[in-house]
Chains A and B, each alone.
Chain A
Amino acid sequence: MGVILKCRTLGFKYGKTQILENVSFEIESGLFYAILGKNGSGKTTLLHCLNGILQPDRGSIEIEKQNIATMSRKQVARQVSLVPQEHLEVFPFTVLDVVVMGRAPFLKMTQVPSNNDYRLALEALKTLASENLAQANFNRISGGERQIALLASALVQTTKIMLLDEPTNHLDFNNQYRLLSKIKELCRTRGTSVIATMHDPNMAILYADRVIMVKDGRIVVKGRTEKVMTTTNINTLYETQTVAISTIGNKNFFLPESAVAASNMME
């Protein structure tokens, strides 16, 4: 275990609006990081800065002690993969066609994926128990299935760092837990570091090793999940009142007070 990514005093402006300010943290290999924050707090912008899609105005990002500003796109793509939130193709590619595109950083300019690359793509789908999707039209499957396909594409990219933008957004109740368990397993077995933006604090409590709380483009709290996921911190982050509702093992889970009140009203 060591530090694989360092983010130092990161700042990002979109036009005149400051989206991120003075964001610093370190990512250790093999751990699951959850980024929590309200809508519009700058979570996605932060992810896009981490793999160089957006260039920060201030600060730096280092992957294995190398500043990504000095790395080529291809070099970055071999270290960091991204699973975007929602994606609709223009052309009716098959799911396998989309998954195999994750091999791009390992192909030369004029190369096309080999049979081996297709085999890896199929394996990635199998890992996610979705090999039946391989020949389906990517545009005609559900949002959740698309998310699984994009995750498979990130898997064949075999990077040390995986960025997930709200990975459970379109997934059903069971698939949410199945997918996150799978991702957590990858952290442990492959030593992949996962950085995921999330909306549900309880999901972060279940799966994340570390939590980074972002508010108005700044980090308010970061640290070990069990230490930072307290009523006070969650209340500050979402500007609401929450209560600890139940405990599994040594983990507390939370609901907003308004939800508890509404549920009591029904009785």
Chain B
Amino acid sequence: MRSTFGGFYVAKSGLDVARSNIETTGNNITNANSIGFTRQRLDTYAVGSYRGTMRYATDASMYIGEGAKISGTSQMRDPYLDVRYRSEAAKLGSTGAQSEVLKDLGYVFDSATETEFDTQFSDFIKQLQALAESPSDPVTENIVKTSATTILQLFRQNATELNTIKNQAKTEFTSGAVRTANLALQSIGELNQAIRSANISGNPALELKDDRNMLIDQLSEYLNIEVTTKEVDVGSGAIVEELSINFVASNGDKFNLVNNDKFRQFEVTEAIDGTFGLVLTESNGALVDSSDFGSIALVDGDITSQIKSGAFSGYLSMLNDKGEFDTPPTTKRGIGYYQEMLDSLANKFADVLNEANSTADNVKPLFESDPPGARITASNIAISQAWANSAGGYITNSKKPISPGVENGDDSSNILYIISQFRAELTFESADGTAIFKGSFQECISNISTTLGLQIKGNKRIHDTNISNIQEVDYLRQSVSGVNLDEEGINLIMYNQSLTAASRFMTTLDEALETIVMRMGIVGR
């Protein structure tokens, strides 16, 4: 039999639990729209009778529970959904980064209505046709020269724009993506420490965990990560949670990014040939010790080749990949592919026309590089000095051997040959001579546009799928973690009633005691 007033403690525990429940519900309601907030729940348990093992214990039927007790608060969260969300985020990050860069490239090559480049080639042919009708006419030749100059300007303009896009992508990559990821890593490390200290003093630090989860979600957009937690007993019964994050490479190799309060950082490298890389460093900037990764060979922390998903991979692909111009050739076309393609077109254009205008013993180039001597590319192509200085009659009308003493200034067979070069199937080559594309000049221009068009279209389709996938997972996640106001309202009433009931229990006890104390033993008084 328990003590006379024992019941009051049971009633009090009921009041405590009910009030805490109401407060938890209130916290949920007030945070219904807080970003990243996870629905919280009060963990309670029934306290059993503690007299079971006493030596002079009474009858077993007398074991009455000692009320309810709060063990703590916890979050409604499904770790499996977090894993799914983060792996989808990596895919989305990759297509998202690519679509950013592709959108910029689209301004240069994706327009179906403003095709100045193609049109200018058509104009050049038109002027050549006019020249074929009145060869060596200085006025017509000057118009041809002007038309050619416009083509060259468009070459240079496009090359400059591509360069700007590459610089922009570089800035987005280094100052945007890498910096954000680094800040996230640092914050996660710091939060880990804060959560640990809180845990030691018994605080579950649920809000800090929400913050940390948001940062991990953010980090997962940049590369494929794996999050592991373990519970560590720090003595005196306190259990803390330690979290570590690994970057998981495409082949399954794992590289530690965060281990409890220790974290690493990413650093962008740029090689002389313009390729970008990503290096893992310690938080103080020191090189990582490759022995940390066991048998995985890692030179100076360079993880570039291991990154195959996430925004980092998207940016690296757009910055480094040159598709058919890479050795071995691939189908991954970054900004470099479009630059090389334009260079190859400019080079072929200059080569073919220079050759068409020259004879074995009379070299008369129409175009040259500026400054001269280099391989002609879209960014350095210029009208040759000789042509620029000529007052007319520079374009070779005819290569036919002529009878000395007879003028043949109006035989335009060579101009027709030049015109025919615009219809000829040419082989466009990379700087090292690998054949990339076969077709006419203008087909090559169209090919650049349609290749980009197809790439944008394909990327958009995958990106859209990724968006709807991640929305789906997020939906499921919210379904578990989000606050439903109906539910909270019901809880409010329910817990309020619990509180009322517990109070009623106490009043009942009080009345019972009153009977015992005040009314008992007064018979006959």
- Same assembly: no
Query: Measuring CB to CB, which residues of chain A are less than 8 angstroms from any residue of chain B?
Result: none
